């Protein structure tokens, strides 16, 4: 089984171990920031889709935690190895979405591989991760790997501007036979973040540049959800 050469034209969500489609009239068009070419579109999701994603993570988390740390480390290392094998594909996705040159895109894939292979141990529970477009793949891997090592389950919301590589990593976890529901992805904007905060997550984490992080933190504070901001 191979990836589509340019990634999916319409990028869905990833919930409970498979692509998850939703019915919506609202979409965001992803454009190449260098050429202006429209390359993908993503659905603008909200509370109902957030509930699906968080619910899948909540169901999966106890069994994932019970697997034991050696088994979780093996899963993360296996995903890192698979990502390494597909470096060229993921670099191309980053170049399309973010306008990176080949060297920068390839370096970011390498940083993500290193994060998955060498994860420290973070906090467990169910958490949501919000990403910006500055380092979408490496920022994701660096944020989720310690939590996954600790036994957490995750819902990732990528930047609307750079969803392709993040979705592809979730898809790759499915091909690596990860337990369904441990790693989930939803698309959207502010309504998606509000939905995640209302869905029963234990904490909200943001990885990226500080300006957007302040806005995300305000949403978490209004919802009474613990918030952490990581440098992008």
Question: Buried (b) or exposed (e) across 53-84, using 16+ Cβ within 10 A?
Answer: bbbbbbebbeebbeeeeeebbebbebbbebbb
In this prediction, residue 52 carries a pLDDT of: 95
Sequence-ordered list of residues with C-beta below 8 angstroms from that of 184, at least 6 positions apart, any chain: 13, 14, 15, 16, 53, 56, 57, 153, 154, 155, 156, 170
In this prediction, residue 1 carries a pLDDT of: 37
Domain chopping of the chain, boundaries = 44-231
Sequence-ordered list of residues with C-beta below 8 angstroms from that of 2, at least 6 positions apart, any chain: none
| Residue 155 CB burial class (10 angstroms; 0-12, 13-18, ≥19) | buried
Going by C-alpha positions, the residue among 97, 100, 75 that lies closest to residue 172 is: 75
Q: Are 173 and 64 in contact (CB under 8 A)?
A: no
pLDDT in tens, 39-82: 889 999 999 999 999 999 999 999 999 999 999 999 999 999 99
- pLDDT under 50 in the chain at which residues? 1-4
CA torsion, points 165, 93, 44, 225, in degrees to nearest 10? 30
Sequence-ordered list of residues with C-beta below 8 angstroms from that of 33, at least 6 positions apart, any chain: 98, 99, 161
Strand partners, 155: 128, 184
DSSP letter assigned to residue 45: B
% of the chain beyond a pLDDT of 90: 84
Q: Are 205 and 49 in contact (CB under 8 A)?
A: no
Residue with tokens 């441990």: 182
In this prediction, residue 48 carries a pLDDT of: 93
Homologous superfamily in CATH for domain 44-231: Aldehyde Dehydrogenase; Chain A, domain 1 (3.40.605.10)
Whole-model pTM? 0.94
């Amino acid at each position: 089984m191979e990836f589509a050469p340019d990634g999916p034209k319409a990028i869905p969500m990833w919930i409970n171990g498979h692509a998850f489609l939703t019915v919506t009239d609202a979409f965001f068009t992803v454009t190449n920031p260098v050429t202006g070419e429209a390359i993908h579109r993503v659905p603008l999701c909200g509370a109902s889709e957030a509930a699906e994603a968080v619910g899948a993570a909540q169901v999966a988390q106890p069994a994932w935690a019970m697997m034991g740390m050696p088994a979780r480390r093996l899963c993360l290392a296996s995903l890192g190895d698979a990502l390494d094998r597909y470096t060229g594909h993921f670099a191309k996705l980053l170049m399309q979405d973010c306008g990176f040159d080949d060297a920068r895109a390839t370096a970011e894939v390498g940083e993500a591989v290193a994060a998955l292979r060498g994860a420290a141990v973070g906090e467990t529970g169910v958490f949501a991760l919000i990403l910006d477009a500055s380092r979408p793949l490496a920022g994701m891997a660096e944020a989720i790997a310690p939590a996954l090592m600790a036994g957490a389950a995750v819902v990732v919301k990528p930047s609307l501007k750079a969803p392709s590589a993040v979705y592809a990593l979730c898809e790759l976890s499915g091909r690596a036979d990860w337990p369904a529901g441990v790693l989930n992805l939803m698309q959207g904007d502010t309504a998606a973040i509000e939905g995640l905060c209302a869905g029963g997550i234990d904490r909200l984490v943001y990885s990226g540049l500080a300006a957007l992080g302040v806005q995300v933190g305000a949403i978490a504070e209004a919802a009474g959800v613990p918030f952490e901001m990581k440098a992008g």
